[in-house]
Amino acid sequence: VTGASFVVFNGALKTSSGFLAKSSIVEDGLMVQITPETMESLRQALRDKKDFKITCGKTDTGDIKEYVDICWVENEEQTNKG
């Protein structure tokens, strides 16, 4: 679990890159590089206030190493207070 001050979603990842998605820590935030198709799905999920999971890693490996989960919560007191 990573706490971050901000999150940047970059929808310019090419499918030919060999990655489903890539995440990296930049300064005190998180940058998630995703394909344009995933970006459109993310936008729709945000409009609909639905949870969304981004799977990061190479497309050709069976090992999925990490996920970026966007979760809507009912009680804000249980979220990161930093």
What's residue 34's pLDDT?
96
- Mean pLDDT of all residues belonging to the chain: 87
Edge-first strand order for the sheet with 7-10 is 7-10, 29-34, 19-26, 52-58, 66-70
45-71 per-position pLDDT tens digit: 999 999 999 999 888 877 667 899 999
Residue 37: pLDDT band by 50, 70, 90 thresholds?
A: very high
CB contact set of 43 (below 8 Å; sequence gap of 6+): none
* Domains of the chain with CATH codes: 6-70 (3.30.1360.220)
**Count of C-beta atoms within a 10 Å radius of residue 13:** 19
Q: What is the mean pLDDT of residues 5-16?
A: 93
What's residue 65's pLDDT?
75
